[in-house]
Amino acid sequence: MNFHFPAVFIPLVSSTVSAGFPSPADDYTELSLDLNSHLIESPYSTFCIRVRGNSMEGARIYDGDMVLVDRSLVAKNGNIIIGALDGEFTVKRLRMEEGRTFLLAEHPCYDPIPITEANDFRIWGVVTYIIHKTHRI
């Protein structure tokens, strides 16, 4: 999967945003930001995939969100990963304990999925960013 996307620059406001009272003096755009270079450390091993379902809502990953996934990262205990489990892609939290591996949903309606030798399981990459639309029409 080698894709090349041209850089798209968006305005970067030179100050930070206040969670309290905004300052009118901070309404100046001084720089540009290329989201590709800001969000993607390994362009040739990074892909984006859309999430379907509600099993990761506790991690603030919602149905319809997109996640950026880096295949060059080694998945560690506690990472949110994209895995291929028995021929199906899934996004889950990776839990490794006492020599066993589990895929954990972040929703109380879903049980942990134990990974056994009977499963065909591969980690496709580590989720690095969530693209979540905050304004829905």
Angle (CA) 115 116 117, round 5°: 135
Residues 6+ apart with CB under 8 A from 18: 26
Using only C-alpha atoms, what is the Rg of the chain? Answer: 18
**Coil, strand or helix at 14:** coil
What are the structure tokens assigned to 48, written together? 């984006």
Q: How far apart are the first and last CA of the chain?
A: 33
In degrees and rounded to multiples of 5, residue 102 shows phi and psi of -130, 150
Amino acid in the structure at residue 26: D
Q: Which residues are catalytic?
A: 55, 92
Mean pLDDT for the stretch of residues 38-49 = 86
- Please state the pTM of the whole predicted model: 0.77
135 pLDDT higher than 90: no
- Separation between Cα atoms, residue 41 and residue 114, nearest integer Å: 31
Looking at residue 41, its pLDDT comes to: 87
% pLDDT > 70, the chain: 76
What are the structure tokens assigned to 87, written together? 């021929």
**Coil, strand or helix at 26:** helix
Task: Look up the CATH number of domain 41-131.
Answer: 2.10.109.10
